[in-house]
Amino acid sequence: MTPDDRLTAAEWVIGLLPPEEMAAATARIERDPDFADEVAWWQERLASLLGHYREVAPPAYLADRIVAALGAPDIRHEKVRRLHWRSAMLGAALGALAASFVGWMVVPATVEQVPAPTPVRPARVLVARLAWATGDQAPAPVAIVQPDLHAVRVSGAVDVPRDRVAQLWRIPAGGAPVSLGLLAATDGQTIALRAANVPGAGSTLAISIEPRGGSPSGQPTGPVVAAGPLAAL
C-alpha cells in the first residue's frame, strides 16, 4: 500500500474525491482486500468526527487560505477547487488532508453562521463496527451513538433489494430487539432517538432486511445482515 493509496482511502471516506475517482476507488474496494482494509481503518478513525458535522460545499476562497496557511506553493485553481493535494511523503499528504478537513468543518460557522455543535465528551460516545453476517469483503457500516444528543450516526451503505428496506435495531444484553429506525439507501445518515431508546455500552446494534415501511411485528422478520457490539470510544 503506497502513501498515495492511503491518501486515496482517506479521501474516499471523507468524500473529497471527484466523481470519477470516487467511482474508481469504490470499485477497487470490491476487488482489492488490502485497499478495503485501509478504507475500513480510516472509517473507524474518522466516523466519529464526521458524525458531528453536516456536509457543506466550501467557498471558492477557502482553498487559497488553506494553501497560504500551510506555506505551500501556488496551486492552479482547477486543482485547488478539488481540495485534493498529493505528496510523495505520507506525512505531507495527510497534513494537507487534515487542513482541508478542518476547512470543511468550519464552513457552517463561518459562511452560514450555523452555531457550533455541542461538544460531546469522548467517554459519552459509543462506537459499533458492524460485521457482515455473510462475510462480505465490502466495508461494513460503522455506527456512532451520541447519548447526549440522542442520536446515532451510521456510515456505509447496505445493499437492499428494491422492494425491501434496511432497519436498525438495538439489542440489550439479554433483552429483545428494539427498532431504532429505517436506514436510507444512501451512504451515511443520522437517526434521532427517543431518550429511552438510546443504546448503552454492551448492547448490540444490528441491521435486518424488512418489507417496505419496516418490520410489521416490531421484531426483526427478515435476515440480519450485519451486527456488532457497542463500546465506549
Residue 130 and residue 194 in one domain = yes
The reply to whether 116 falls in a domain is no
If one compares 104 and 231, the residue with the highest pLDDT of the two is: 231
Confirm whether pTM is higher than 0.85.
Answer: no
Q: Would the pLDDT of 225 be above 60? A: yes
Inside any domain, residue 102? yes
Residue 152, pLDDT > 50, answer yes
**pLDDT band, very low/low/confident/very high, at 86 (cuts 50, 70, 90):** very low
Together in a domain, 23 and 45: yes
Q: Are residues 18 and 55 in the same domain?
A: yes
Q: Cβ distance 43 to 9 under 8 Å?
A: no
Q: Do 86 and 159 reside in the same domain of the chain? A: no
Same domain, 128 and 219: yes
The pLDDT, as a whole number, for residue 171 is 93
Same domain, 139 and 92: no
Confidence check: pLDDT of 109 > 50? no
pLDDT digit string, tens, across residues 44-70: 777 655 555 555 666 666 666 666 665
Cell numbers 436506514: residue: 183
Q: What pLDDT does residue 33 have?
A: 87
Task: Clarify whether residues 90 and 49 are in a common domain.
Answer: yes
Rounded to whole angstroms, the Cα distance separating 175 from 170 reads 9
Asked if residue 97 is part of any domain, the answer here is yes
Q: How far apart are CA 168 and CA 156, in angstroms?
A: 13
State which residues form the domain around 170.
122-232
Q: Which three cell numbers stand for residue 3?
A: 502513501
Within a domain: residue 87? yes
Contact 93, 3 (CB under 8 A): yes
Distance, first Cα to last Cα, the chain: 27
Interval 134-149: pLDDT, tens: 777 678 888 889 888 8
* Predicted confidence (pLDDT) per residue in 159-203, tens digit: 888 889 999 999 998 889 999 999 887 777 889 999 998 998 889
In this prediction, residue 65 carries a pLDDT of 66
Query: Which residues are 204's β-sheet partners?
Result: 171, 229
Cell of 154: 451510521
Q: Stretch 24-36: mean pLDDT, rounded?
A: 89
- Let me know whether 126 and 228 are in one domain: yes
Residue 165 forms part of a structural domain: yes
Is residue 120's pLDDT more than 50? no
Considering the domain architecture, whether residues 88 and 129 belong to the same structural domain is answered as: no
Number of independent structural domains in the chain: 2
CA neighbours within 13 Å on the CB side: how many for 137? 13
Reported as a pLDDT band with limits 50, 70 and 90, residue 40 is confident
| Residue type at position 12 | W
Instruction: Tell whether the model's pLDDT for residue 114 goes beyond 60.
Output: no
Q: What is the DSSP letter of 114?
A: P
Residues 69 and 136 occupy one common structural domain = no
Do 105 and 15 share a domain, yes or no? Answer: yes
Give the closest residue to 33 by CA, choosing from 142, 134, 140, 137.
137
Which helix (H) or strand (E) is 225 found in, with range? strand 224-229
In angstroms, rounded to a whole number, what is the distance separating the alpha carbons of residues 229 and 199?
10
pLDDT of residue 42: 82
Residue 91 pLDDT class (50, 70, 90 cuts): very low
How does strand 204-211 pair with strand 189-192? unpaired
Q: Is residue 75 one of the residues assigned to a domain? A: yes
- Among 110, 137, 160, give the residue marking a domain's end: 110
Question: Which distant-in-sequence residues (6+ apart) come within 8 Å of 125 by Cβ?
Answer: 48, 144, 145, 146, 232, 233
Q: Does the pLDDT at position 75 exceed 70? A: no
Spatial distance between the Cα atoms of 195 and 168, rounded to a whole number of angstroms: 16
Same domain, yes or no: 91 and 141 = no
Domain boundary residue, one of 110, 137, 153: 110
90, 110, 130 — which closes off a domain? 110
